[in-house]
């Protein structure tokens, strides 16, 4: 099997599994308790905070543990909206994952306006248009760091600067789920107030993530109870998950050269596919500076993406047709529509996403199977 759907989830590192297993078997204490084994466990959780904070240019006490990217995005958006008393507008890009796109629509029920930032044909936020969308009444701007469908890296720093020129008090939220540990981020330098991340996208466990919240940013908690996480996210700590997330961050940091090797694998796969013809890349091409190292969106001429995905599964190659969180909805991708793709192009799209466990040999094999399958399926094209 060749697994090329790492943007949906990744296989955990063996060390992550070992750390979590040991925690559940031996360090099963509640880290909020006062006796020594619990205090020792809490100390290890704090080390995980520091590890995450160091990767995003933040401080230890700015890391709020959550159940994953979706909860982090919800806390950032709704938590910000509920602090406001007057009417404001909330801005997000046309590329957002449902965790942001659907959540930001909920602020309309609170009396606020929602505005959408357009993107260009490469799937990059249009900064000229953004200057007309964002204004002095914008309370929050939300933009993903890396498109989960095309791998396009967004101009977060420039967007943040533009937003603060319009309103110095605006909050900038970044969904970093597809960018964390694969694309550099420094919250202070980039002007980011809140940054969401998830463990299972970086070879860590599912069900754990974080929202990094810059000091001074006020949020209304969406989960109340025991007051954990500075009263922003109550609930007993998921100690095995947090330790697993911390271990995944440690491993990813030590394997930075493998992250760059993914860029080479992506380029090799595309070189073979493009040489065969009948396929286009959606978004920045491999090798371009605003192309993330691990995601490739492909449209095969005359072949439906869903058919291609199913056919490749039969060949032992696992890909997707887009975000796993929305794949069951069977509708045209809003991201591809915003980029100006035709209905046929969008319908013929698959997403290939790499992880640290993929190899160059797998790229050669996957390319050969895709080329052969595309040629076979194109014979049955509807006329």
Cβ 353 vs Cβ 6: under 8 Å: yes
Cβ 59 vs Cβ 49: under 8 Å: no
Positive/negative CA dihedral, 344, 347, 348, 351: positive
pLDDT at 326 over 60: no
Model confidence over 114-166: pLDDT tens digits? Answer: 999 999 999 999 999 999 999 999 999 999 999 999 999 999 999 999 999 99
Model confidence over 7-62: pLDDT tens digits? Answer: 999 999 999 999 999 999 999 999 999 999 999 999 999 999 999 999 999 999 99
pLDDT value at position 116? 97
Note the pTM of the prediction, 2 decimals: 0.95
- The mean pLDDT value for 161-187 works out to 98
- The mean pLDDT value for 227-243 works out to 96
- The mean pLDDT value for 288-311 works out to 96
pLDDT value at position 378? 84
Residues near 331 by beta carbon (within 8 Å), at least 6 away in sequence: none
In angstroms, the CA 247 to CA 231 distance is 25
pLDDT value at position 33? 96
> What is the pLDDT of the chain when averaged over all its residues?
95
Helix ranges restricted to H, the chain: 14-25, 36-56, 69-81, 98-106, 127-133, 156-166, 187-190, 239-254, 256-276, 305-314, 334-338, 343-347, 360-378
Confidence class for position 332, pLDDT limits 50, 70, 90: confident
Among all residues, which ones are annotated catalytic?
325
Lowest mean pLDDT among 200-214, 248-262, 318-332: 318-332
Q: For the chain, which domains are there?
A: 2-9+256-378 (3.90.1150.10), 14-253 (3.40.640.10)
């Amino acid at each position: 099997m060749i697994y090329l759907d790492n943007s949906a989830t990744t296989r955990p590192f063996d060390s992550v599994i070992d750390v979590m297993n040991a925690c559940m078997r031996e360090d099963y204490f509640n880290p909020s308790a006062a006796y020594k084994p619990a205090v020792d466990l809490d100390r290890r959780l704090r080390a995980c905070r520091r590890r995450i904070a160091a990767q995003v240019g933040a401080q230890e006490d700015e890391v709020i543990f959550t159940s994953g990217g979706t909860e982090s995005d919800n806390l950032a958006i709704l938590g910000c909206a509920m602090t406001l008393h007057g009417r404001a507008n909330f801005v997000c890009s046309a590329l957002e994952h449902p965790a942001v796109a659907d959540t930001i629509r909920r602020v309309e029920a609170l009396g606020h306006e929602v505005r959408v930032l357009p993107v260009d044909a490469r799937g990059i936020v249009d900064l000229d248009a953004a200057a007309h969308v964002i204004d002095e009444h914008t309370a929050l701007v939300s933009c993903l760091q890396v498109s989960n469908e095309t791998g396009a890296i967004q101009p977060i720093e420039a967007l943040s600067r533009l937003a603060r020129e319009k309103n110095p008090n605006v909050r900038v939220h970044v969904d970093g789920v597809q960018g964390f540990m694969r694309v550099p981020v420094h919250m202070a330098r980039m002007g980011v107030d809140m940054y969401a991340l998830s463990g299972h996208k970086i070879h860590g466990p599912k069900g754990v993530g974080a929202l990094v919240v810059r000091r001074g940013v006020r949020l209304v908690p969406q989960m109340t109870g025991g007051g954990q996480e500075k009263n922003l996210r109550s609930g007993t700590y998921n100690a095995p998950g947090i330790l697993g997330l911390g271990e995944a961050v440690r491993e990813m940091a030590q394997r930075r050269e493998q992250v760059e090797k993914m860029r080479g694998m992506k380029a090799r796969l595309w070189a073979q596919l493009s040489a065969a013809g009948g396929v286009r890349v959606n978004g920045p091409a491999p090798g371009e500076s605003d192309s993330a190292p691990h995601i490739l969106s492909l449209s095969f001429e005359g072949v439906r993406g869903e058919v291609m995905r199913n056919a490749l599964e039969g060949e032992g190659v696992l890909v997707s047709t887009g975000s796993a969180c929305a794949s069951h909805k069977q509708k045209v991708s809003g991201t591809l529509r915003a980029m100006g793709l035709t209905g046929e192009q969008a319908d013929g799209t698959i997403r290939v996403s790499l992880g640290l466990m993929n190899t160059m040999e797998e790229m050669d094999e996957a390319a050969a199977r895709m080329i052969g399958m595309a040629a076979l399926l194109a014979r049955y094209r509807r006329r």
